[in-house]
Structure 1
Amino acid sequence: MLSNLINRQILREAILVAFIGLVILTLIPFGSVTPFPFAFAAIGMFVLAIISGLLFGEPRQTRSVFSITLFLLIVLTGWMFVQTIELPAHWLANPAWNAARDLAGVQYAAISVVPADTLASILWVALPFVTFLTGLVLCDTDQRARKVLASLGLAAGIIAVFALIQFSMFPRILIVIEKRAYLDSLTAVFVNRNTAATFLGLGTLLMLTLVRDIARSYSSHPPGEPGRNVLLLRTWIYILLLCACFTALMLSRSRAGIFATFVAALIYFPWLVINWNSSKRYRRTTPTWRSILKFVSAIAFVGLSLIMFAGQAILRAQERRLEDDDRFCILPGIWRAISDHWLTGTGLGSFRTVFSAYRDPACGIFGIFDRAHNFYLEGFLGLGILFPIAAAIVFSMLARVFWRGLAQRRRGRHCVLLGVAATVLVTLHSAVDFSLQIPGFAVFFAAFLSAVVAISLGRNNGEAQRQI
């Protein structure tokens, strides 16, 4: 029986390593926005999900979150499939099909105006959901969940170092191809600077956490004992990677991405400073005035950092006012499209086709809007009323998870707060960008959330509580 236990643990570790590796690989080829990398990522993740589910079953500590997420995945993909089929008597069919029948004799009619694109979008929606579910199954202990967070943070730091070298030496090259857009901005391994900013902002928060953890380990390690020099070296490496993530974020020149990161930092960094030396074993009462001083100093530090290092983004904001930004000019047209199709939606993946009829000529004739630059509005337009309902369920679920984690976890509380800050970052930036619609980042964030949720609902003795 012992051999069986060891084999299962080794197998779980091997699958976890494969899971982390696949998540990182999904980032590298431009966020897997092209068909071949996306297909590779989807096939690999679905295979890992099936293997993990068959071998280890439903997670115990995160069972409720797992069940809700699986239910949402089934409902959303099922509704997207319904949007592509022809219902009896053309029930709920989009009125655009009437014009197609009159002009071209098309007899088909469905909810979606582009059924093929909506059908293809099912995989784009399912991939981050399956990643999150697989992460919940594999992260059955704090140790494994922390391993996922550490791996994602180090990957973000290494990508930031690569991006800085590439941007400084070969500014017109994006990985291995010629860069055609955002020539004045660092975009890391992505095409769009806003997606890069969201990723680098999350990477900065992750590396800040790793610096805190390794610095605490070094300070508590007795002088003269083996391993102290290694800890010191790792501490400096982590600090350099943190600086790389932060510098790359500033060079992205993304106004919304930098602003959202600093809002997240205002949530996370002051708590981290106040509780930097806290320990369950050696706990001392800190005077209230000292905690307040640390809190105010941390907020001031974040504010000064924004003023000192975000100069290029601030300059962009001053040069180009919000009312001059095309993303805000098209918002009334998007709202009109939503108001006309709020119940059933027009099919996910149909934005480019549908929005052309609602575009305001005052916004100019140049450029084609493939996306709404607003994750929530595009989701509402594509899926109809089901999207805000699903979004409300997701946010309420995460709120309950984080609240429970903050109330019950002590040593892992900073990881819970990291999840809160990162969720705020992505939530804010998604209101003016489409980072969550990029498969590479969506998979990265889903894996991150699975580890944070596992820590929020877990215990240090999770290994003993789980049936093997």
Structure 2
Amino acid sequence: MLSNLINRQVLREAILVAFIGLVILTLVPFGSVTPFPFAFAAIGMFALAILAGLLFALPKHGRWVFNIALSLLVVLTSWTFIQTIELPANWLANPAWRAARDLAGVQHAVISVEPADTLASILWVALPFVTFLTGLILCDTDQRARKLLTGLGLAAGGVAVFGLLQFSMFPDVLIVVEKHAYLDSLTAVFVNRNTAATFLGLGTLLMLTLVRDIARSYSAHPPGEPGRNLLLLRTWICILLLCACFTALMLSRSRAGIFATFVAALIYFPWLVINWNSSRRYITPVPRWRSVLKLLSAVIFIVLLLSMFAGRAILRAQERRLEDDDRFCILPGIWRAISDHWLTGTGLGTFRTVFSAYRDPACGIFGIFDRAHNFYLEGFLGLGVTFPVATLVTFAVLARVFWRGLSERRRLRYYVLLGIAGTVLVALHAAVDFSLQIPGFAVFFSAFLSAVVAISLGRSHGKNERQYG
């Protein structure tokens, strides 16, 4: 019995390591936006999900979140599939098919204006959901959830270092190919600087957490005891990776990405400073004025960092006002398209085709908008009213999870704040960009959410928990 238990635990650890490795591999080839890397990531993640589901039971504390996420996956993928099939009496069919029948003799009529693209988009929806569900299964203890977050943080730091070296030495190269866009901005392994900024902002929060953990471990380690020098080395490595993430974020020159990270840092960093000793078993009461002073100092520090190092992004904001930004110019056209198809949508993955009919000539004739630069509006246009309902359910579930984490967790409460800050960062930037539509980042963020949700709902597991001080 004991040998079977040990083997099962070793197997779970091995699958967790494979899960972390697959998440990292999904990032590297331009965020897996091309078919082959995406297919590899999807096959690998689905295989891990099936393996984990067959071998391990779902942790009881996260079962209700798992069930809701699985239900959302079924609803969204089922509706996407329904958009591609012909319903009786052409029910809910897009009016465009009527014109196609009159002009070209097309006999079928479905909801989607491009059924093939909509059908292919099912995998793009399913992959981040499957990643989240697999992460929930594997993160059955706080230790494993923290191990996952550590792996993600170190991966973000490694990508930031690679991005800095590439940007300084080979600014015209993107990994191994010639760089054609955003030549003045650091994009790391991504094509778009905004996706890079979202990723690097989340990486900065993760590395800040790792620095806090390892620094406290070092301060609690008795002088002269074996391993202290190794802890010191690890502390400095984490600090350097934190600086690399922050520097790469600033060099991305993404206005929205830096601003969203700034808001997330205002949520997370002051609380981290005030509650630096919150994990101690016995906490000495601190005068209120001292807490207020720490809060103000942390806020001022964040503001100073932004003003000192985000100059290039601030200059871009001053040079190009919001009303001159094409992303905001096309918003009225997107709203018109949504108002015409708000119930059923036009089919997932059809934005490029549909929006051309609603594009305002005042926005210029150059360039092709294949994305809305707004995750919420593009989802609404593609899936109809199903999407905003699913989005509200998702935010409601996360709000309940984080509220429970803040109420019930003490020693690891800062991980709950990390989850809140990371979610705010990504949710804010999604309103002006399409980072969540890039498979590599969507998988990375889903894995991040699975870990922070597991910690928010979890409890200590005695000897299985690794103590960090």
- 1:394 match: secondary structure: helix
CA contact (8 A) 1:114 1:347 kept: yes
CA contact (8 A) 2:143 2:464 kept: no
CA contact (8 A) 1:142 1:462 kept: no
CA contact (8 A) 1:342 1:385 kept: yes
Q: 1:37-186 to 2 correspondence within 5 Å?
A: 37-186=37-186
Structure 1, unmatched stretches of 5+, are: none
Deviations 1:257-290 (A, max 9, x none): 0000000000000000111133332310011000
Amino acid corresponding to residue 439 of structure 2 in structure 1: P
Q: 1:223-372 to 2 correspondence within 5 Å?
A: 223-372=223-372
Runs of 4+ with deviation above 6 angstroms: 462-465
Aligned length: 465
Determine whether 1:418 maps to 2:393: no
Give the Cα separation in 2 of the matches to 1:211 and 1:90: 59
Q: CA deviation at 1:17?
A: 0.5
Amino acid corresponding to residue 58 of structure 1 in structure 2: L
Q: 1:394-409 to 2 correspondence within 5 Å?
A: 394-409=394-409
Amino acid corresponding to residue 222 of structure 2 in structure 1: P
Q: CA deviation at 1:103?
A: 1.0
Q: In the alignment, which residue of structure 2 is the partner of 1:442?
A: 442
Amino acid corresponding to residue 192 of structure 1 in structure 2: N
CA contact (8 A) 1:73 1:126 kept: yes
CA contact (8 A) 1:92 1:344 kept: yes
CA contact (8 A) 1:374 1:430 kept: yes
Q: In the alignment, which residue of structure 2 is the partner of 1:31?
A: 31
Q: In the alignment, which residue of structure 1 is the partner of 2:456?
A: 456
Amino acid corresponding to residue 376 of structure 2 in structure 1: Y
Give the Cα separation in 2 of the matches to 1:34 and 1:240: 32
CA contact (8 A) 1:26 1:38 kept: yes
CA contact (8 A) 1:256 1:429 kept: yes
Give the Cα separation in 1 of the matches to 2:464 and 2:19: 23
Give the Cα separation in 2 of the matches to 1:81 and 1:187: 34
Distance of aligned partners of 1:222 and 1:282 in 2 relative to their CA distance in 1, 3 Å threshold = farther
Q: CA deviation at 1:59?
A: 2.7
Structure 2, unmatched stretches of 5+, are: none
Give the Cα separation in 1 of the matches to 2:60 and 2:462: 9
Q: CA deviation at 1:57?
A: 3.0
- 1:61 match: secondary structure: helix
Q: In the alignment, which residue of structure 1 is the partner of 2:222?
A: 222
Amino acid corresponding to residue 290 of structure 2 in structure 1: R
Q: CA deviation at 1:462?
A: 7.4
Amino acid corresponding to residue 458 of structure 2 in structure 1: G
Determine whether 1:7 maps to 2:27: no
TM-score under structure 2 length normalisation: 0.98
Amino acid corresponding to residue 85 of structure 1 in structure 2: I
CA contact (8 A) 1:323 1:329 kept: yes
Determine whether 1:199 maps to 2:204: no
Give the Cα separation in 1 of the matches to 2:411 and 2:127: 32
CA contact (8 A) 1:273 1:295 kept: yes
CA contact (8 A) 1:121 1:349 kept: yes
Q: CA deviation at 1:436?
A: 0.1
Amino acid corresponding to residue 239 of structure 1 in structure 2: I
Amino acid corresponding to residue 261 of structure 2 in structure 1: T
CA contact (8 A) 1:402 1:416 kept: yes
Give the Cα separation in 2 of the matches to 1:162 and 1:277: 34
For the aligned residue pairs, the C-alpha RMSD in angstroms reads: 1.0
Q: In the alignment, which residue of structure 2 is the partner of 1:382?
A: 382
Amino acid corresponding to residue 95 of structure 1 in structure 2: P
CA contact (8 A) 2:347 2:382 kept: yes
- 1:358 match: secondary structure: coil
CA contact (8 A) 1:149 1:451 kept: yes
Q: CA deviation at 1:60?
A: 1.4
Give the Cα separation in 2 of the matches to 1:261 and 1:463: 36
Give the Cα separation in 2 of the matches to 1:279 and 1:344: 50
Q: CA deviation at 1:58?
A: 2.7
CA contact (8 A) 1:374 1:434 kept: yes
Q: CA deviation at 1:463?
A: 8.0
CA contact (8 A) 1:59 1:66 kept: no
Q: In the alignment, which residue of structure 2 is the partner of 1:211?
A: 211
Deviations 1:109-166 (A, max 9, x none): 1000000000000000000000000000000000000000000000000110000000
- 1:84 match: secondary structure: coil
Give the Cα separation in 1 of the matches to 2:218 and 2:7: 33
Distance of aligned partners of 1:120 and 1:192 in 2 relative to their CA distance in 1, 3 Å threshold = same
Give the Cα separation in 2 of the matches to 1:101 and 1:206: 54
- 1:303 match: secondary structure: helix
TM-score under structure 1 length normalisation: 0.98
CA contact (8 A) 2:23 2:440 kept: yes
Give the Cα separation in 1 of the matches to 2:151 and 2:127: 20
Amino acid corresponding to residue 243 of structure 1 in structure 2: C
CA contact (8 A) 1:140 1:462 kept: no
Q: CA deviation at 1:461?
A: 1.3
CA contact (8 A) 2:278 2:410 kept: no
Q: Between the two proteins, what is the percent identity of the paired residues?
A: 83
Give the Cα separation in 1 of the matches to 2:464 and 2:366: 61
